[in-house]
Chain A
Amino acid sequence: MHIDYYPGCTIKTSARQYETSALAVLHALDVQSREMEQWNCCGVVHSLATDNLIRHVAPIRVLTRLQQQGGTELVTLCDMCYNTLAQANLLVQRQPDKGEAINGFIADDQTYGGQVDVLHLLQILRDRIGFQAIKRRVICPLKGLTVFPYYGCKLLRPRAVGIDDAETPSILRDLMQALGATVVDDPIQTCCCGSYHVVNRDAIVAGQVTKIAARAQLQGADIIVLSCPLCHFNLDTHQPRPTDGGQRLPVLYYTQLIGLAFGLPWETLGLDAHHIDPFPLLQHQHSVPLEGERV
């Protein structure tokens, strides 16, 4: 299998461990991946203003360029990028007049009409490879690890681009169970983490993150797993120590946990790139060095 993937700016700066672990996992699953050439920022958020089309130029330019490079499908890692690209694609498909205006502005050789399919890597793992196939590849099951999946907003909403049920998603739960982990759920999994308020009103983020981590602790979780670099940043940097004196929950990307279950070396998974150190918790995994062994 071959995929064209779109990394996004965050993946190249503060979430590099997501990219390295995703590429290592894809390689282990015999999936050829190619970073699309000459990509630009996705536009970050989908603009809801009906008359401000300039905000859709960035995502449409990405999709136009992929089409020019002969691609038909674009796989994203970041939830924000996925949402912005997928919603802009939908806009062009459903509102051809706006698509025409955007194309006219871009003034490229090729016009874009929404032909590219925008997919999240989780969809590739679930729908193309299948969690059963992933389960067969597991050599170090995550036995004894209690995982709390956190979905946030951008993967599930709005429904037109959501990759799973917006109220009771199961994609991360099913994936984690395939890896042999114990999974605990809570309705707070689909609440917002505070998002970009972290830039100038981080009290909002701290409030949300405190609530989310407390619910996860209450359910008995050891670790939080997610797919969005912004949620990751907020949960990893704004999580307070529990008032009962316990440990903060490490926050990992699903690709890192797949890599651990596949027995991939911890260095390629970027496990040392986290604010909350996951190593003490992961000592029992074969590919993770014991305390003091890590250089």
Chain B
Amino acid sequence: MTTPQPDLITMQFMGKNYQVPSGLTIMAAIEYAGYKLVRGSGCRAGFCGACPTIYHKGESHKLYTALACQTLVEDQMCLVQVPFVPVARKRYVMDALQPTPNIILQYYPEIAGCVACNTCTRACPQGIQVMDYIQAALRGDIQRTAELSFDCISCGICSSRCPSDIKHYPVGQLARRIYGKYILPRSQHLADRVSELAAGAYQDEMTTLMHLSLEDLKVRYEQRVFEPVVGQNDEHNAVRQWGSPVDPVDFQDDPQAILSTGA
């Protein structure tokens, strides 16, 4: 009996053609082709923004952008990894800033050059309305800038495509910092909790842990108990997936485990 094999597709990477199985992410396909990613790869879970990819497909004239760890490879993809988008960032001292309407414009005056072409929004692998948050920054709406840019992972693809040379993600970052420091209301329960911790609420437990041997620590870790959570039966629940092949953190790459789950 033979194991069913996935279809092979053709991917062009760094100017060379490779036959890779369909159903892999771009990152997995690059590794399948024999490359070892020492840059352009990080968390492998769509959070760190280290694996921007630029590609085109078949006959289309369009240039697409994606995160290599979050996008499936397709037939006739011609792609390259962009491990890092160099972006000029300004130095500022948060305590010295004031949340005035034109504060972002003072540090990043180039946002006034936005022509509303929306190229940044189209390029964003996170589906963020990038142009709209730049526009909000332009009119001093720090809250809207912070909210719209909240899911930004700073991959920098937007800035690599902008015809006005706007550096988007530092703008969102500055807005979120100002919003968090000056505009969001303070939460009393957080302040209470922090002062509790500062007063040494868990000091004894920490001291105990600090004196444990590595072996004892490992045992403690393996025996840790999760709090019951809402959505326990949700297929994507992190607790439910703990230790399973789809858990990106804890799962050890064991071929037998993959075969036995049929993945």
Please give the residue numbers on chain A whose beta carbons come within 8 Å of chain B beta carbons, in ascending order.
Answer: 8-9, 12-14, 38-41, 43, 54-55, 57-58, 61, 105-106
Q: Which residue of B lies closest to A42 (CB)?
A: B116
A-B contact number at CB 8 A = 42
Once the chains bind, are B115 and A57 in contact (CB under 8 Å)? Answer: yes
10 A-B residue pairings within 8 Å (CB atoms)? A14-B101, A14-B102, A38-B132, A39-B135, A40-B135, A41-B138, A41-B139, A43-B115, A54-B163, A58-B116
Once the chains bind, are A61 and B116 in contact (CB under 8 Å)? Answer: yes
Which of A13, A57, A105 contacts B102, CB < 8 Å? A13
Once the chains bind, are A12 and B140 in contact (CB under 8 Å)? Answer: yes
Once the chains bind, are B101 and A54 in contact (CB under 8 Å)? Answer: no
**Chain B 80-101 interface 0/1 with A at a Cβ cutoff of 8 Å (1 = within):** 0000000000000000000001
How long is the Cα–Cα vector from A38 to B141 in the complex, in angstroms? 12
Q: Which residue of B lies closest to A105 (CB)?
A: B117
Task: Count contacts on B: residues with CB < 8 A to the other chain.
Answer: 15
**A195 to nearest B CB, angstroms?**
16
Q: Is B114 an interface residue (CB 8 A)?
A: yes
Q: Is B118 an interface residue (CB 8 A)?
A: yes
How long is the Cα–Cα vector from A154 to B30 in the complex, in angstroms? 57
**A55 to nearest B CB, angstroms?**
7
Which of A8, A38, A57 contacts B117, CB < 8 Å? A57
How long is the Cα–Cα vector from A9 to B137 in the complex, in angstroms? 10
How long is the Cα–Cα vector from A262 to B20 in the complex, in angstroms? 75
Q: Is B131 an interface residue (CB 8 A)?
A: yes
Task: Identify the interface centre among A12, A40, A54: most chain B CB within 10 Å of its CB.
Answer: A40
Once the chains bind, are A58 and B139 in contact (CB under 8 Å)? Answer: no
Q: Which residue of A lies closest to B117 (CB)?
A: A57
Provide the residues of chain B in CB contact with A40, threshold 8 Å.
114, 116, 131-132, 135
Task: Identify the interface centre among A14, A38, A43: most chain B CB within 10 Å of its CB.
Answer: A38
How long is the Cα–Cα vector from A13 to B163 in the complex, in angstroms? 26
Once the chains bind, are A55 and B115 in contact (CB under 8 Å)? Answer: yes
Once the chains bind, are B163 and A61 in contact (CB under 8 Å)? Answer: no
Please give the residue numbers on chain B whose beta carbons come within 8 Å of chain A beta carbons, in ascending order.
Answer: 101-102, 114-118, 131-132, 135, 138-141, 163
Which of A8, A12, A57 contacts B116, CB < 8 Å? A57
Provide the residues of chain B in CB contact with A61, threshold 8 Å.
116, 118
Provide the residues of chain B in CB contact with A38, threshold 8 Å.
132
How long is the Cα–Cα vector from A40 to B135 in the complex, in angstroms? 6
Once the chains bind, are A9 and B138 in contact (CB under 8 Å)? Answer: yes
Provide the residues of chain B in CB contact with A55, threshold 8 Å.
115
Once the chains bind, are B117 and A54 in contact (CB under 8 Å)? Answer: yes
Once the chains bind, are A106 and B139 in contact (CB under 8 Å)? Answer: no
Provide the residues of chain A in CB contact with B132, threshold 8 Å.
38, 40
Once the chains bind, are A12 and B117 in contact (CB under 8 Å)? Answer: no
How long is the Cα–Cα vector from A38 to B131 in the complex, in angstroms? 10
How long is the Cα–Cα vector from A8 to B135 in the complex, in angstroms? 10
Provide the residues of chain B in CB contact with A39, threshold 8 Å.
135
Provide the residues of chain A in CB contact with B115, threshold 8 Å.
43, 54-55, 57-58
**B105 to nearest A CB, angstroms?**
9
How long is the Cα–Cα vector from A8 to B116 in the complex, in angstroms? 14
Q: Which residue of A lies closest to B119 (CB)?
A: A105
Once the chains bind, are B116 and A13 in contact (CB under 8 Å)? Answer: no
Given A38-B132, A40-B131, A54-B163, the answer on whether A9 and B139 have CB atoms closer than 8 Å is yes
Q: Which residue of A lies closest to B100 (CB)?
A: A13
Provide the residues of chain B in CB contact with A13, threshold 8 Å.
101-102, 139-140
How long is the Cα–Cα vector from A105 to B115 in the complex, in angstroms? 12
Q: Which residue of B lies closest to A10 (CB)?
A: B139
How long is the Cα–Cα vector from A9 to B115 in the complex, in angstroms? 14
How long is the Cα–Cα vector from A125 to B116 in the complex, in angstroms? 31
Task: Identify the interface centre among B114, B138, B139, B163: most chain A CB within 10 Å of its CB.
Answer: B139
How long is the Cα–Cα vector from A41 to B131 in the complex, in angstroms? 11
Which of B101, B117, B135, B163 contacts A41, CB < 8 Å? B135
Q: Which residue of A lies closest to B132 (CB)?
A: A38
Given A12-B101, A13-B101, A13-B102, the answer on whether A41 and B140 have CB atoms closer than 8 Å is no
